[in-house]
Amino acid sequence: PPHLDPLTPRPPREILRFSGAMDTPRIISGWANFLAVDDFRTLDSLLVRSEADAGVQRSVYRAQCTARRASSNSRFNLQCTGDPGAERSMSLVAQVEENGSGRIDWLSFGPAGTVRDVNLDVGPAQRSNTESMLRAAPKTAALSTRLPDGRRLAGVTIRWSGKDRQDSASGTIDAQLEAILVNDFALVHRAIDRVLEHQPALLDNVPLMRAKLMPALLAELGAPGESMSRTFRCCVDDTGMPAPTLDAPEIDAVVVAEERLRPFFRYCATCHFTAERFPPNFLSGKADQVTENLRRCAPRMLVRLTAWEIPPDHRAKTPMPPVTAMRALGTSADQWAVSKELEAMRDYVEELAREAGQATETSAGAYQNYEALPSCLPSDS
**Mean pLDDT, the chain, whole residue set:** 84
Angle at 345 between CA 344 and CA 346, to 5 degrees: 90
Other Cβ atoms less than 10 A from the Cβ of 347: the count is 12
List the chain domain ranges: 34-56+184-244, 57-183, 253-372
How far is it, in rounded angstroms, from Cα 291 to Cα 65?
A: 85
Strand pairing report for 75-81 and 58-69? antiparallel
Tell me which of 84 and 300 has the higher pLDDT: 300
Side-chain-side CA neighbours of residue 205 (13 Å):
0
Do the beta carbons of residue 134 and residue 122 sit within 8 Å?
yes
Model confidence pLDDT, tens digit, residues 246-273: 777 878 888 888 899 999 999 999 999 9
Model confidence pLDDT, tens digit, residues 299-358: 999 999 999 998 888 888 889 999 999 999 999 999 999 999 999 999 999 999 888 887
Q: What's the predicted TM-score (pTM) here?
A: 0.63
Look at residue 142 and tell me whether its pLDDT is greater than 50: yes
Ranked by mean pLDDT, which of 66-75, 165-174, 224-233 comes out on top? Answer: 66-75
Q: Which among 344, 258, 366, 352 is positioned nearest to 297, based on CA atoms? A: 352
pLDDT at 381: 42
Sign of the dihedral defined by the CA atoms of residues 242, 246, 252, 257, in that order: negative
What percent of the chain has pLDDT above 90?
32
Kindly state the DSSP code that residue 362 receives in the 8-state scheme: -
Look at residue 166 and tell me whether its pLDDT is greater than 50: no
Radius of gyration, CA atoms only, the chain: 34
pLDDT at 237: 65
